[in-house]
Amino acid sequence: MIENAERSIWRATSPRIEADAELPAESDVVVAGAGLAGAAAALMLSSRGHRVVLLDAAAVGARTTGDSTAKLSLLQGRTLSTLLERPGPAALRAYAEANSHAQVWLRDRLHGTGAEERRTAYTYATGVEGDEAVRREAEACVLAGLDVRVHGRGDIGLPFPVSSSLELEDQSQLHPMAVLAQLVRDARRHGTVVVEHCRLRAVHDEAEGLVVETARGRVRARRLILATGFPALDRDAFFARLTPSRQFVGAYRLPAGMAAPDGIYLSVDRISRSLRTARGEGGETLLVVGGNSYFPGRDPDTSQRLDALDRWTSIAFPGAVRTHWWAAQDYRMANGRPFMGPISGHDGRVLAAMGFAKWGMTNAVAAAIALAGHAEGSPPEWAAPFADRAVGRRGAGEMLKSNAEVAGRVVTGWTRPQESYRDADGSARARVIRRGVLSVAESVVDGTHCAVSAVCTHLGGVLRWNSAERSWDCPLHGSRFAPDGRVLEGPAKHDLKPKGGAS
Ligand SMILES: Cc1cc2nc3c(=O)[nH]c(=O)nc-3n(C[C@H](O)[C@H](O)[C@H](O)COP(=O)(O)OP(=O)(O)OC[C@H]3O[C@@H](n4cnc5c(N)ncnc54)[C@H](O)[C@@H]3O)c2cc1C
Ligand code: FES
């Protein structure tokens, strides 16, 4: 039985979030993107007396924050050992400090709201390869000053054996939409104007400041903060430095008598699994399971990933029934650390936050702290390494490899045999066809026919059907489009052109 498909448990149980009707003509700071980074930055700046406009192309929490698994944890899978390996110990310590400040700031705002539940966090392995990752992560945690406990085989509250694990007490699981509701409410109390369905389109420099162009008019401002996940303005070719990673998440009802695990968990095996609990619409406890990330647009049949998530859950938790499923993506910078700082041009007046690599509950807030500091001319000391977009020698190697892969996919996209897809129940079918020199993406979903260009409006990748989510996804840099061609997310700024004549 599948209910509420493609709607995260957090959206299904979100408190109402109020917004404003009018875009003001002037402001001190415009913050584009009302996910966690944007909402936190708006609150910080407005509470210090700045006039702030927070705008979103869709709605508050419409993208990754509203679809996260939302563990607010300093224990983060393989993250710290990866940072220790590259860029190195100084960046590792700065990262740990940034994340720890962010955790404290957010918890202070959420006290007594019910949006946060304290939990013990575990990183675990079920085999030899994972054991080695746990060992390396334990070393990095010690260098980062985290008080972790290391376990061999033993019970960490899961119904299957683990071969080793790390434990860190007093971490949290969040209801991310309740978090946003609280931050937005507080920001509005401090005068922030929140405008939804208002896409940032461009920014122009003037002697006195900036003119910010949006889908609903212009705003004059002194600063612009891009908190749009993938940066909405990309002067620095960030698309070549950011790798998207998409993931399916399911919420499951456990059979009567089966207790849900009490902690928050992430495995470091080859296929990672993320586990936590959440409350369903009726207040019942559900198990939330995520994992097995992939590059959007590169999987020929995404439905199989969702099936695999169900299969794994039904083996680990026999009798579990999926009640919700959804998917989301986040981005990783080629230099291995998040970016939080000024982008090129604009005399430092345009700032951006990105590359949280699925640890944005802390990093988005750290970015807000750093960018609010930059906007006031006094960023915190720990923020310096995160304003650096240089990739280093090894990062450059990885970038070259990834861009060569992209170049290869440009060619295979154009020479790929025509592909067609059909849902098992016949409710959707899609295909990419060639009409002369044109590539056309045709779909029929629940009886609605659409025919649009099959060529991504970012840099020309040939799109692929995402059978589970019923979208057209780009294998080059991860842009996604609805069947009717509307941009959903990623670096693309323009919708796909209609091509007419769907069959
Ligand atoms: C499956 C998954 C699980 C995760 N689990 C965890 C976890 O357990 N713990 C953790 O710490 N992190 C986790 N993360 C990461 C975390 O959720 C994200 O890093 C974080 O939510 C990103 O917040 P954000 O504000 O940067 O972006 P978003 O929440 O994506 O917000 C960006 C906003 O910008 C808007 N926008 C886009 N373009 C424009 C434009 N041109 N103009 C105006 N608005 C625009 C969008 O509509 C959107 O609302 C996970 C991520 C994924 C994908
Ligand atoms: S996302 Fe860059 S070409 Fe499609």
What's the 227 CA to ligand 1 centre distance in angstroms? 9
pLDDT of residue 2: 40
Percent of the chain with pLDDT over 90: 87
CATH T-level assignment (fold) for domain 415-489? Rieske Iron-sulfur Protein (2.102.10)
Q: Report whether 178 contacts 185 (CB < 8 A).
A: no
C-alpha 305 to ligand 1 mean position (Å): 21
Considering every ligand atom shown, identify the ligand nearest to the alpha carbon of residue 489 and give its number: 1
- Mapped onto helix, strand or coil, the DSSP state of residue 186 is helix
Cβ(296) – ligand 2 distance below 6 Å: no
The pLDDT of residue 503 is 42
Average pLDDT score over residue span 319-344: 96
Determine the residue of 14, 63, 488 to mutate for testing ligand 1's pocket, defined as the one with the most ligand atoms within 8 A of the Cβ atom: 63
Ligand 1: nearest atom to the Cα of 65: 21
Mean pLDDT over 55-67 rounds to 97
> Would you say the CB of residue 461 lies under 6 angstroms from ligand 2?
yes
How confident is the model at residue 4, as a pLDDT? 40
Indicate if ligand 2 lies below 6 Å from the C-beta of 479.
Answer: yes
* Predicted confidence (pLDDT) per residue in 434-447, tens digit: 887 889 999 999 99
**Is the CB of 477 within 6 Å of ligand 2?**
yes
- Sequence letter at residue 486: R
- pLDDT digit string (tens) for 209-246? 999 999 999 999 999 999 999 999 998 999 999 999 99
Q: Which helix (H) or strand (E) holds 333?
A: strand 321-333
CA–CA dist 365, 418 (Å, integer) = 44
Read off the pTM. 0.96
Q: How far is the CA of 370 from the centre of ligand 2 (A)?
A: 29
Sheet arrangement for strand 217-221: 200-206, 209-214, 217-221
In 3D space, the residue among 497, 495, 492 whose CA is nearest the CA of residue 228 turns out to be 492
> 308: Cβ–Cβ under 8 A, 6 or more apart, which residues?
292
Q: How far is the CA of 180 from the centre of ligand 1 (A)?
A: 12
Does 459 sit in the ligand 2 pocket, CB within 6 Å?
yes
Over residues 163-168, mean pLDDT: 98
pLDDT surpassing 90 at residue 10: yes
* Ligand lying nearest the CA atom of residue 490: 2
Q: Is 456 in the pocket of ligand 2 (CB under 6 A)?
A: yes
152 or 86: which leads in pLDDT: 152
Q: Where are the domains of the chain?
A: 415-489
- The CB of 490 under 6 Å from ligand 2? The reply is yes
Does residue 454 line the site of ligand 2, with CB under 6 A?
Answer: no
Question: What does the DSSP assignment read for 116-160?
Answer: EEEEEEEEEESSHHHHHHHHHHHHHHHHTT---EEESSS-SS-SS
Amino acid at 499: K
Mean pLDDT of 59-86: 97
Determine if ligand 2 sits within 6 Å of the CB of residue 491. Answer: yes
| Closest-CA residue to 242 (of 391, 351, 386) | 391
Asked whether the CA dihedral 362, 59, 285, 165 is positive or negative, the reply is negative
Looking at the predicted structure, is the pLDDT value of residue 256 above 90?
Answer: yes
pLDDT of residue 393: 64
Residue 390, pLDDT above cutoff 90: no
Q: Residue by residue, what is the 3-state secondary structure of 218-233?
A: EEEECEEEECCCCCCC
Q: Is 275 in the pocket of ligand 2 (CB under 6 A)?
A: no
**Statement: residue 409 has pLDDT above 80:** no
Beta-strand relationship, 209-214 and 217-221: antiparallel
Whether the per-residue pLDDT at 357 is higher than 90: the answer is: yes
Under the banding of pLDDT at 50, 70 and 90, the label for residue 394 is low
Pocket of ligand 1 (CB under 6 A): 32-38, 55-58, 62-65, 68-71, 199-200, 227-229, 232, 247, 249, 290, 328-330, 356, 358-362, 364
Count how many residues are written for the chain.
503
Q: Which atom of ligand 2 is nearest to the CA of 460?
A: 3
CA 11 / ligand 1 centre spacing (Å): 14
What is the average pLDDT across 10-14?
Answer: 97
Segment 118-147 shows an average pLDDT of: 97
Q: Does residue 426 have a pLDDT over 80?
A: yes
What local confidence, expressed as pLDDT, does residue 285 receive? 97
pLDDT of residue 6: 73
- Report how far ligand 1's centroid is from the alpha carbon of 201 (Å): 19
Spacing, Cα 427 to ligand 2 middle (Å): 28
Atom nearest to 232 CA in ligand 1: 41
pLDDT exceeds 80 at position 398:
no
Residue 1 has pLDDT above 50, yes or no: no
- pLDDT band of residue 20 (cuts 50, 70, 90) is very high
Distance 271 CA to ligand 1 centre (A): 22
Per-chain mean pLDDT for the chain: 94
